[in-house]
Structure 1
């Protein structure tokens, strides 16, 4: 069973060792082999004793960690046949497109093709008001939803961006009780209890929960744009948080973090009852981003410059140029989860007090 694309496409990608065969990612079992795409866009897990590929029974792998006794992620880009595991696909290193206009045209075409490949009939958009989700929203022409606590940056930014775009916006106003209720469900679904991952997954889950309740089958997100297009401050500054000494090298570092990050987001959305849709993570978009020259990744204080230029053809300048906060901070979920942990007796002087609070909720069977 393969998720994400058809079996013929994966067989062809295997035969050609083609890392970006024109999909939104894939994973599963094909012809007696486990496979997972190069960016790990579809979650795949195996029992710990079978991680090297030596075990390949149907009960030894799953798309969700909750279906296994001792799950570990199956590596992105790998193939296992029950005897050994092989790294078949690697992140490509295509030549840099020196002509800026051609590079931007390639990104524009790729994003357009990705949007056209999405079945937009029953899809909504997780909308933070930033350029990533705004571009997705504009191209899909789908309803906009944002989740956040009263007074949060994300809700305010989403409102002003929606107004500038002439679009209606549904606001999922959060309360502390929403976090208390959702934390155990989210932590179990993503197979993680650390504070950062839970804080990131919570607003995704809560907005997806509303979207599912209102009859949508899928939720489109802007995930991947920061990694692909140079959206992080640490990449622009080349500070201690990156190993590379060039912007392009630092961008590749961030792309390599996607196989660890994306399963968290996918599993959180699936737990809420919707299918994740990430147009900016389509293979064609990845390929176009990898070809961008440095000046279209970071230019002085401007991050994601190339993406912003392309987005400016579709969005008001105030939206295309807007910076945004990370979702856990912009929604105030991180602040409120910290407050709940302290109210429950897990003080900040304790090491990783929010994680301990999450683990306690799970142990109590909440």
Structure 2
């Protein structure tokens, strides 16, 4: 990590502050390995390492013989791992809700994007990626197969934002998806259907971005987890996919899954040759989101209410309020991987047939 981030991380260790104002960090610090509370960057250590040497750790697991991921919010030193930070759980704050979210987003996207060279934006037309596009003088990329709704949404939003000339559509073929399945499974170190189907469109977009000469890709990751974008959060406590009996509690359960998701996504994108940039996961945005009352996460069926109202400062209403499918469905990649699995003889009546197909490709 650079000197500025290292100093902030050092102070955060001393104070116990889990959100000290960075956009994530991981790596060596004063003879220790550290990883921020949300796991926004990656750091691996050799499983049997007893001391920190230059060849005992890496940001890339492929550099090590037996890589072990440092858990989010933890410190590794001399073969021992301990928790340094936990995500705070502040009380709800109903004062200046939209303004606080808007200010945090503006600061985060400005700080993250303004000085990033060779930047592209992953743009599916929803409020998350549109917020980045509104603040980035960079091309916008969307990937989809056939009549994918992500491509349609991206075109409509780009038109509304007067950015149509900046939109680059990655038209995926079945051959593209088929060839990428083993590459992505190896890149993320997972073969389960859901992880592979989510990582595939990210990898394919990042591959096109790299081919076009860009080395940073801005993504709206984290917005759904922070601001209440999931149906299971909106439906709490009546959704059996969460244990919480409130929307805020369900949001916290979902937030706990972020480090695992981010490892998958970061590995997929880096394998394609670009570096992910995630402004909506910067500490100030996280702090603002954590204080949101339940009715500002979801109200009257509207998910991500605070984020959408804050976005009205920069986006047309039709973009700020657009509903979208998850990337694996909006791109139609999940559907086509399922088709490939069935064509290869892995029928739906088989248990977890897509995972078995992925494993057969390795």
TM-score, scaled to structure 1: 0.93
Q: Is the 8 A contact 1:3 1:42 kept in 2?
A: no
Q: 1:172 to 1:283 in 2, by over 3 A?
A: same
Give the drift of 1:235.
0.4
Question: How many Å apart are 1:58 and its aligned residue?
Answer: 3.8
Report the Cα distance in structure 2 between the residues aligned to 1:255 and 1:117, rounded to whole angstroms: 23
Structure 2 residue aligned with 1:6:
5
- The residue number in structure 2 matching 1:88 is 84
Shift of 1:55: 5.4
Aligned to 1:109: 103
Quote the residue 1:150 is aligned against.
146
Counterpart CA distance in 2 for 1:352 and 1:266 is 25
Does structure 1 residue 231 correspond to structure 2 residue 225? Answer: no
Change over 3 Å in CA distance of 1:184–1:359 after alignment to 2: same
Pairing of 1:95-134 with structure 2 (within 5 A): 95-99=91-95, 102-118=96-112, 119-134=115-130
| RMSD value, Cα | 1.6
In structure 2, distance between residues paired with 1:321 and 1:42: 30
User: Does structure 2 retain, via aligned residues, the 8 Å contact 1:111–1:280?
Assistant: yes
CA distance in 1, matches of 2:100, 2:256: 22
Structure 1 distance, partners of 2:258, 2:103, is 23
TM-superposition CA deviations, 1:82-139 (whole Å, max 9, x none): 152221111012332122xx12111111111111112244211111111101111112
Does residue 21 in structure 1 map to residue 15 in structure 2? no
Whole-angstrom CA distance in 2 between matches of 1:304 and 1:78: 30
The structure-2 alpha-carbon separation of the partners of 1:173 and 1:308, relative to structure 1 and needing over 3 Å to count, comes to same
CA distance in 1, matches of 2:147, 2:51: 51
What stretches of structure 2 of length at least 5 have no aligned partner? Answer: none
Counterpart pick for 2:180 among 140, 159, 182: 182
Shift of 1:57: 4.1
CA separation of 1:5/1:149 partners in 2, compared to 1, >3 Å: closer, same or farther? Answer: farther
Which stretch of the first structure deviates more once superposed, 64-73 or 184-193? 64-73
Which residue of structure 2 lines up, in the alignment, with residue 269 of structure 1?
269
What is the SS of the residue equivalent to 1:140?
coil
Q: Is the 8 A contact 2:145 2:332 kept in 1?
A: yes
> 2-side partners of 1:4 and 1:341: how far apart?
48
Who is 2:327 aligned against?
A: 327
Classify the secondary structure of the residue corresponding to 1:145. Answer: strand
Distance 1:331 1:81 in 2: 42
- Ranges in structure 1 where 5+ consecutive residues have no aligned partner: none
Task: Kindly indicate whether the alpha-carbon contact (under 8 Å) linking 1:49 and 1:55 is maintained by their aligned counterparts in 2.
Answer: no
Give the superposition deviation at 1:56. 3.9
The answer to whether the 8 A contact 1:4-1:24 is kept is: no
Q: For structure 1, which segment, 277-286 or 11-20, has the greater mean C-alpha deviation from structure 2 after superposition?
A: 11-20
Q: Is the 8 A contact 1:212 1:274 kept in 2?
A: yes
Q: What is the aligned partner in structure 1 of residue 35 from structure 2?
A: 36
Partner residue in 2 for 1:77 = 73
Asked if the contact 2:117–2:216 (Cα under 8 Å) also holds between the matched residues in 1, the reply is: no
> Which residue of structure 1 lines up, in the alignment, with residue 219 of structure 2?
221
Alignment match, 1:206? 204
Instruction: After TM superposition, give the deviation of residue 164 of structure 1 in Å.
Output: 0.9
In structure 2, relative to structure 1, the CA distance for the partners of 1:351 and 1:72 (3 Å cut) is: farther
1:229 CA drift (Å): 0.3
Task: Tell me the CA shift for residue 5 of structure 1.
Answer: 6.2
Cα distance, 1:48 vs structure 2: 4.0
- Which deviates more from structure 2 when the two are superposed, residues 61-70 or residues 187-196? 61-70
